[in-house]
Structure 1
Amino acid sequence: MNRSHAFQLASLLLTYPDEELLAAGDELRAAAAGVDEFERFVEWLLTGTLTEAQRHYVQTFDLRRRSGLYLTYYLHGDTRKRGMALLMLKQRYRAHGLRLSDGELPDLLPIVLEFAATVGPGDGEAPLRQHRQGIELLRSALHEARTPYALILDVVCALLPQLTDDDRAALMSLAFDGPPVETVGLDEVGLGPTLAPYSEVCG
């Protein structure tokens, strides 16, 4: 499976599950073929009911304070720096002809993955590399929660550059301290989930 296909499938599987997604079971199995993590996740997704899948998704990403899908929040918290990071992401998307729907924040992981799949290595994958630390924290939180969604993050992280010593030091700091806190100047950009300090960071 090439990088673009992997990012595209990860983006799809990280979106809120609906009837259309589960009805495409054969297509999902075919798309996941050859990647053990994707295959296992798809089988889990298709085993239960739509209601069960939707409930699990909400409990995992919307109700758990440590596994939100908004990447800039992991690094910047509710600060003005987050507003600038969101603006820069929007400008990058626009430069490649991508327009977001009203109310969509550009740092939502499925959108970032879709951009990487569409634009490709280099500029397309730059936001993933820039938010490598946040993605790793999310992966750690999903593993800690023992959710099958961790399998998707395992694939994504395997395609990204390995963590450096500086990355690991920054991750440990975020694990203990959590993201910065400052609400001034964020009224217009929206807020992400509230993160509690992380107890551990998976490598």
Structure 2
Amino acid sequence: MRRKTTHPILGESDRSTAWQVQSLLLGYPDEALLETLPVLARAVSTLPEAVGAPLHSVLSYLENTPPIAAATDYVETFDHRKRFSPYLTWFVHGDTRKRGVALLKLKQVYRAAGLELGDDELSDHLAVVLEFASAHPVPGQQLLEDHRAGIEVLRLALREADSPWTGVLDSVSATLTTLHGDAREAIATLVAAGPPDEGVGLEPFAPLTYMPSFPEGRR
């Protein structure tokens, strides 16, 4: 079995910066976020191209789209359609008892690092996981790797829909380990089957022969 390797151009500082920016860009595009865009752009400019370029596309969308339109697009994308769910355990466990166990395990990891979530925050929201990873890179990266399937399925769904937030997921993927054959097949299987108790799977996704592209050397 080939050993998984982290993208060689990324140091720990780059990953922490990237995860913090990605976390913020997955937030609702309210006035507070829009006011931080120049700061985020400067941070992104320091990142390697594979990680930074996808984020520039998201920043450009937010900078050039009327706020009400961006907010409406965000709500239509992440709040109204499960196939774009930012809650990573849902892709694997659906709305089953196993998902509750997975959420509890995530909370335990956070608590061990001194982070207590508010009652209105679910521990598997990708923005929450990324924020945790930015402050605690070692356990944070492990959580992202453990939930890689959900990340890639969400990435595929956003890409197929030509969503402006695709760039965030492309950037997240570029910070993680290389996907090899078995992992890619597992993701394809998840796309076909969908979460437990979802009779129609995650349609309408692309056919199984299509998978997200990866930077050179990451196939």
TM bin, normalised by shorter chain, reads 0.7 to 0.9
Alignment of 1:21-170 (within 5 A): 21-34=33-46, 35-120=52-137, 122-170=138-186
Q: Which amino acid aligns with 1:39?
A: H
Could you tell me whether the CA contact under 8 Å between 1:66 and 1:195 is conserved in 2? no
Q: Which runs of 4+ in 1 moved over 4 A?
A: none
Q: What displacement does 1:89 show?
A: 0.2
Matched, 1:177 2:193: yes
What are the Cα deviations for residues 45-102 of structure 1, in whole angstroms up to 9, with x where unaligned? 0111211111111111112231110000011111221111100000000000101111
Q: What displacement does 1:36 show?
A: 1.7
Could you tell me whether the CA contact under 8 Å between 2:54 and 2:167 is conserved in 1? yes
Secondary structure of the corresponding residue to residue 124 of structure 1: helix
Q: Which amino acid aligns with 1:199?
A: A
Q: What displacement does 1:169 show?
A: 2.0
Distance 2:33 2:57 in 1: 16
What are the Cα deviations for residues 31-54 of structure 1, in whole angstroms up to 9, with x where unaligned? 222422222211110111211111
What TM-score comes out, normalization by structure 2 length? 0.82
Secondary structure of the corresponding residue to residue 177 of structure 2: coil
Distance 1:45 1:154 in 2: 17
Q: Percent identity?
A: 45
TM-aligned CA distance change 1:202 to 1:25, over 3 Å = closer
Q: Which amino acid aligns with 2:171?
A: V
Distance 2:121 2:59 in 1: 26
What TM-score comes out, normalization by structure 1 length? 0.88
- 2:16 maps to 4
Q: What displacement does 1:29 show?
A: 2.1
